[in-house]
A = this chain, B = another copy of it.
Amino acid sequence: MKQSAISHPRSARLDVETELEERKRLVEDALHRALPPESAWPETIHRAVRYSLFAGGKRIRPLLVLAAGEAVGGSRDGVMPLACAAEMIHTYSLVHDDLPAMDDDDLRRGKPTSHKVFGEGIAILVGDALLTRAFEIMADAPAGADAGDVRRRLAATAILAEAAGTAGLIGGQVMDLESEGQAVDARALEKMHRAKTGALLGACVRGGAVLGGGGEEDRARLDRYASAIGLAFQVVDDVLDETGAAHELGKTAGKDARAGKATYVSVHGLEASRQMARRLREEARSAVAPLGARGRLLDGLARLIVERRG
């Protein structure tokens, strides 16, 4: 029973996919409720924030939060604020990264980017607003929250802020900006991606475990899992950038390579990158295997990350 995800792979896989789909709908609803209404003053910014936040993302970060929370026995409602906050921070980073002064992207998920639709000034403020709102949601404890709830909330906020800061998301983007057109070795590349992508993915898993009230042992397992999927995510991204169809990515394939940006594929080659992704996926699986059925959603997400096509 505990090993169902391993002993009945096909049906279990469908079950997990159904469960993830159901969680994704809950996340969409929670995100809608986590924002001021579109008609709130000043309307422009709320319309623009929603444009980017509901542009069809896969919601991998909130799903990781929910899966980690459930894996340690936490309540879904209890970890939902972190799920929403993480997705807002992810979206803010995309909006700012797409700006002309950064990666200068016109398309994101097949739609014109925020600054193309609303102008650069508003796009900068959209990112600022999402980042700020993320922390507001974390700080907004319900009136009846007990001392433990409040303490876990603050701890999860610290984890999220650290991952979003200069040692994480922002540091990675600085390194990305500075490495454009430069030769980057394998170590520097891994450092950049661990910061730019891995830190936030990891914070979703670790923060979900903390907010869900997980014990030391479970948290250590989830740490190993987080480290593996964080890197896997970026390796797969680079493989897709090299090989993927533009319409599936919603952006121009091969763009990073042409921009002279270092990728796993440019440093290690395509086949080695694919192998690396498979190895990391196995690492993630073995990290959560001791959790049995409680780890099934985390395992399903690791597969989703590695097998995704866009």
- With A135-B157, A153-B154 as contacts: A170 and B128 at CB distance below 8 Å: yes
Segment with Cβ contacts to B, from A38-46, A51-59, A232-240? A38-46
Does A132 belong to the interface (CB within 8 Å)? yes
CB pair A141 B154 closer than 8 Å: yes
A171 cross-chain contacts in B, Cβ below 8 A: 41-42, 45
Q: Do A135 and B161 have beta carbons less than 8 Å apart?
A: yes
Q: How many copies does the complex hold?
A: 2
Distance in angstroms between the alpha carbons of A151 and B140 in the assembled complex: 11
Tell me what chain A mostly uses at the interface: helix, strand, loop, or mixed.
helix
* Nearest CB of chain B from residue A89's CB, rounded to whole Å: 9
Residues of B close to A117: CB separation below 8 A: none
Contact of A131 among B128, B141, B150, B155 (CB under 8 A): B128
> A183 within 8 Å of B by Cβ?
no
Complex contact B136–A165 (CB within 8 A): yes
Question: Is A186 on the interface with B (CB-CB < 8 A)?
Answer: no
Q: Mark A253-278, 1 if CB is under 8 A from B, else 0.
A: 00000000000000000000000000
Q: How far is the CA of A49 from the CA of B166 in the complex (A)?
A: 10
Cβ–Cβ < 8 Å partners of A178 in chain B: 42, 44
Query: What's the nearest-Cβ distance from chain B to residue A257, in Å?
Result: 20
List the one stretch of A13-21, A69-77, A118-126, A221-229 in contact with chain B: A118-126
Q: Which residue of B lies closest to A141 (CB)?
A: B154
A155 to chain B, nearest CB (A): 8
A104 nearest in chain B by CB position: B121
Determine if A124 and B150 form an interchain contact, defined as CB atoms under 8 angstroms apart. no
Query: Which 7 A-B pairs have CB atoms at the shortest separation, nearest pair first?
Result: A101-B120, A136-B161, A147-B147, A139-B157, A139-B158, A135-B135, A101-B121
Binding site for B on A (CB under 8 A): 36, 40-42, 44-46, 49, 92, 96, 99, 101-102, 119-125, 127-129, 131-133, 135-136, 138-141, 147, 150-151, 153-155, 157-158, 161-162, 164-167, 170-171, 173-175, 177-178
